[in-house]
Amino acid sequence: MDNKYTAVIKKDDDWWIGWVEEIPGVNCQEKTKEELIETLKVTLKEALEMNKNEALAIAESDYSEVVLEL
């Protein structure tokens, strides 16, 4: 599945700040735009993995997974 997410980024004084629209809590700041984009990608991957692990832990056992396409 080829997931795409939207990052909102902007320069704020000496820092670049950004966040991912679709996933609350994924926000970062870096000194350069390039570093910010890379950090947002890493943070997004970590958040998605954490959310997945949490969902599976809540389900415990005897569950099925269904792919939803919008």
pTM for the full predicted model: 0.87
- Nearest C-alpha neighbor of 49 from the set 3, 6, 9, 16: 3
Query: What's the mean per-residue pLDDT of the chain?
Result: 95
Structure tokens at 43: 């943070």
Q: What is the pLDDT of residue 1?
A: 54
Confidence of residue 11 (pLDDT cuts 50, 70, 90): very high
Mean pLDDT of all residues in 27-55? 97
The predicted model gives 25-47 an average pLDDT of: 98
> Could you tell me if 35 and 29 are in contact, meaning their C-beta atoms sit under 8 angstroms apart?
no
